[in-house]
Each structure stands twice: as C-alpha cells, then as structure tokens.
Amino acid sequence: MIIPLILEYKTKGYEDMLVLRHKILREPLGLTFSEKDIEKDKGDILMALVLPKEQKMLACCIFTRVDEHTVKLRQMAVDREQQKSGLGTSMLSFAEYVAEREGFEKIVLNARKVAVAFYQKYDYKIIGEEFTEVGIPHFRMEKRIKMEKEKQQVVDEVLKYIDITLTPFGKPQRGVIDVEKRDPMYDGNGVVYMLSIFEKGELVNNRIGTYMVLLNKGDQAGFHEHGTKKEQELYVLVHGEGEYIERQGLDKITRKFNLKKGNVTSIQGDNNYHSIINTGDEPLIIFVVTTYEKA
C-alpha cells in the first residue's frame, strides 16, 4: 500500500528523497546537489509517497514557505518507471492537503515547460513569461487553494441563495475566484463584497462583470458616478431587496426605488450618481456589468 509521508531533514527518508530527486530531476540535466542545495531544504516541508514494506520511495516534493499566505512547491518528482500512473496526482493532492492544513492559501511554483500541462490539469495558472532555470524553460504558476476565512464565509453565505457557476466557452466551469472587501464602498454604510468570477483582463476591453454582495440590512454601495470614466453600468438584482437611489450632482436626490430580484438598473453620463442599500433580511446579491459608452 502506498502511503504519503512528511519526512524529517537528514534522516534515512530524506536520503532516499535525495536519491530520487537526483535520478529524476538532476542527473538528466547533468547536475548534482551541492551542500548549498541541501542546506536549502532545512526547515522546508519534505513530502513523499512510499511503499513501506518494500522501503521504496515512489514520489516526492517540497514546500518552501514564502510568507504567511504562500508556499512554493519544488522538487516534484515521480520515479521514472511509475510515471503517468497517477502518482504525480496523488503527490500533488497530498501536498495541497498539507498546505491547506498548515493554513496557507496559495501555492506557487516554477514549472518545467514539459510539466506545465500536468499542473494545468489541476488548475494551476501560468502567471508570467517563460524563463530559464537549471538550463531549461520554465513558467511561473500558481493556484489559490483557500480564500481567507472571512472571504470564504462570504462565498459560503452567498451560495446558500444562488449557484455561482461561470461557463466560459470551451473552458472548465468555475466559481468565485476572488473576493474583494470594500469597507466602506464609496463612503456608504457597512461593508460590500465584490465576488469575481472572471480573471483580470478576461473580458474584452478590460470590462467588468462581477457579483456585488451586501450581506446585511443597511449595507450600502455609496454614491458614485461613471460619467468621467465614460462607462455605463448595469445592476442585475439576483437575490434580496434594496433601495436604489439616483442623485444628480453632489446633493440633489432625484428618485428612489424599492428593487427586488429580477430588476435591472442602468446608469451613465456626467453628474449622475447612484447608490443601493440592502433593505431586506437576506443578502442583497447583484450582478454588475460595466461597459464603455459608445465613443
């Protein structure tokens, strides 16, 4: 039976790991381990998959702490005879489990170009240009494994009321990828959360399509305008109830409406401001679409 292990530095298990890393990652490139390389492993999280009875190590990888939120995955290797039989997947999912258990939110790595497709399969994203390391092409990749607690709680709360699933054409479906807390939002009362489903730059012309969530009664997206940015903005009320206020200039409130699920608002033009307040007992969930005005 294959078991996952956390290894101690400079033990028999660690020696086995060095042998595997040398065979799979160094030898093919004509490289060896220096004392400095070995010193670098000290204090890192050293992980492996082993067959205990046969005392054989099948796969390994390492985490180096980057900061309190992030770990760097490195030295991922599966024994040559065992590759492409699911061990890389098992090693990676054990590593992700360990990262989450240790309270980290993000895993970063420098992936060899030949292994990029493997990581992409498990939702790691390329985040930079190709570069050279140990003489071969690499890409920087990352995966967010957990949101901060408060952000996750907001997502969990919203998911009680609506199903957030984006279906981008030809790509895997996905849910919320980031949460931004606006405290306050344009001088409004309370707190507003923006739940992203699109990556930055994914929508044409860098336009915005995002969920805006006012969790509690009284939470408000404060007055703001879009004219100076030549934008038009739509609010599509997906859940809850709200008071929507239009204002002209800095102080002339012109209209107020009680809005509910299904209602849509639109704003554009100079000197036009809008604001919305949650007036219900449940979260007010709005899908916001911001586009450019015609040139």
Please report, as ranges, the residues that interact with ligand COA according to CB under 6 A.
Answer: 24-25, 76-78, 83-89, 111-112, 114-115, 117-118, 121
Whole-number minimum distance, CB 110 to ligand COA, in Å?
Answer: 7
Q: Is 122 or 257 the residue whose CB approaches ligand COA more closely?
A: 122
Q: What would you report as the CA-atom Rg of the chain, rounded to the nearest whole angstrom?
A: 25
Among 52, 18, 53, smallest CA distance to 35 is for 18
- Is 28 exposed, middle or buried (CB count within 10 Å of its CB: 0-12, 13-18, 19+)? exposed
Q: 293: which DSSP letter?
A: P
Bridge-based pairing of strands 70-78 and 106-112 is parallel
In angstroms, the CA 3 to CA 18 distance is 18
Question: What distance lies between CA 98 and its chain's CA centroid?
Answer: 17
Q: Which is nearer to ligand COA, 90 or 290 (CB)?
A: 90
Residue 80 or 252 with smaller CB distance to ligand COA: 80
Q: Residue 138 CB, nearest distance to ligand COA (Å)?
A: 8
Q: How far is the CB of 108 from ligand COA (least distance, A)?
A: 12
Considering the complex, what minimum distance in angstroms separates the CB of residue 139 from ligand COA?
9
Measured between alpha carbons, how far is 205 from 203 in angstroms, rounded to an integer?
6
DSSP, collapsed to helix, strand or coil, labels residue 228 as helix
Query: Closer to ligand COA at the Cβ: 81 or 251?
Result: 81
CA angle at residue 59 from 55 to 63, to 5 degrees?
Answer: 120
Cβ-based nearer residue to ligand COA, 78 or 179? 78
> CB 283 → ligand COA: shortest distance, Å?
38
**Least Å from the CB of residue 4 to ligand COA:** 14
**36: which residues sit within 8 A by CB, 6+ positions away?**
none
Q: Which is nearer to ligand COA, 77 or 213 (CB)?
A: 77
Q: In the complex, what is the shortest distance from the CB of residue 228 to ligand COA, in angstroms, rounded to a whole number?
A: 46
CB closest to ligand COA, residue no? 88
Task: Return the amino acid letter for 118.
Answer: F
Where does the chain have alpha helices with state H?
12-21, 35-41, 87-101, 116-121, 149-159
